[in-house]
Amino acid sequence: MKLSIKNTAGKNSGELEVKFTMIENGKGTQAVHDAVTAYRAAQRSGTACTKTAGEVAGTNKKPWKQKGTGRARAGSFQSPLWVGGGVVFGPKPRDFSKTISKKTKQLALRKALSERLKMGDVLVVDDLKLSTHKTKDFMKVIDALELTGTTLVVSCGTENNNLTRAVNNISFVTITTSDSLNTYDVLRPDKLLFTKSAFEKVEARLNKE
């Protein structure tokens, strides 16, 4: 499979041969599911915490005597039945992260990127170095490439800071690097915009055994 390489003006500047093994059949679907589930689970902070009856502040004194008041029996101000009392089976801090193997991660990324390539959602530009950090300059690139909807920009991370600063002001554009690209990143946006060098780095990741 070949991809057209464009410049920032939207003109063709060559072709790029896809060098990693694309997945054409149903293989890898479960790997994609596992990778996305693990990614989203890792985003959960797991810091929710409630106090049990033994942890809330209070005294061991009985609210009133056992008999003779006409009221229901009560033995503790910390009872879950009382306002300000403990919580029964409430959440406690926990780790939601899930572990998947490196091979599963690689298979999931290859599957996801293969599908996006077949759907025509991947664009490659020769370079994305900007002379200024102004958002309007990057918007000219977006318009020239006719990108619509949400877009993920994948760079090598070696570009100047102007690109990152310009993208940060656009709500429908996010940026990542070829080293940190994951399956969830590939699936989420409407379009993927790679620099040529970034795409080659991702290919190198996918070709590792």
Place of tokens 């490439």: 145
pLDDT digits (tens, 9 = 90+) for 179-190: 999 999 999 999
**pLDDT at residue 55 tops 90:** yes
pLDDT of residue 159: 66
Instruction: Give 106's contacts (C-beta < 8 A, 6+ positions apart).
Output: 205, 206, 208
Domains and CATH numbers, the chain: 2-44+100-207 (3.40.1370.10), 46-95 (no CATH)
Please state the rounded mean pLDDT for residues 16-31.
88
Do the bridges between strand 122-125 and strand 191-195 make them parallel or antiparallel, or are there none, so unpaired? parallel
What mean pLDDT comes out for the span 75-100? 94
Dist. CA 68–CA 115, nearest whole Å: 75
Strand order in the sheet with 151-155: 12-17, 2-6, 122-125, 191-195, 151-155, 173-177
Mean pLDDT of the chain: 91
Over the stretch 157-209, which tens digit does the pLDDT of each residue have? Answer: 776 688 888 898 899 999 999 999 999 999 999 999 999 999 999 999 998 76
More confident residue, 62 or 158: 62
Judged against a pLDDT cut of 90, whether residue 9 lies above it is answered with no
> What φ, ψ does residue 104 adopt, rounded to 5°?
-65, -45
**Rounded distance between C-alpha atoms, residue 92 and residue 47, angstroms:** 7
Report the length, in residues, of the chain: 209
Please give the Cα distance from 76 to 169 (Å, whole number). 55
pLDDT reported for residue 26: 81
Would you state the structure tokens that stand for residue 195, as one six-digit string? 């620099």
**Mean pLDDT value of segment 132-147:** 90
* pLDDT score of 190: 95
- Per DSSP, helices labelled H in the chain are 29-42, 102-118, 135-144, 161-167, 183-187, 196-207
Instruction: State which amino acid sits at residue 144.
Output: A
pLDDT attached to residue 209:
63
∠ CA(184), CA(185), CA(188), 5° rounding?
Answer: 80
| Helix, coil or strand: residue 177 | strand
Query: Tens digits of per-residue pLDDT, 89-130?
Result: 999 999 999 999 999 999 999 999 999 999 999 999 998 888
Average pLDDT rounded to a whole number, residues 29-51? 95
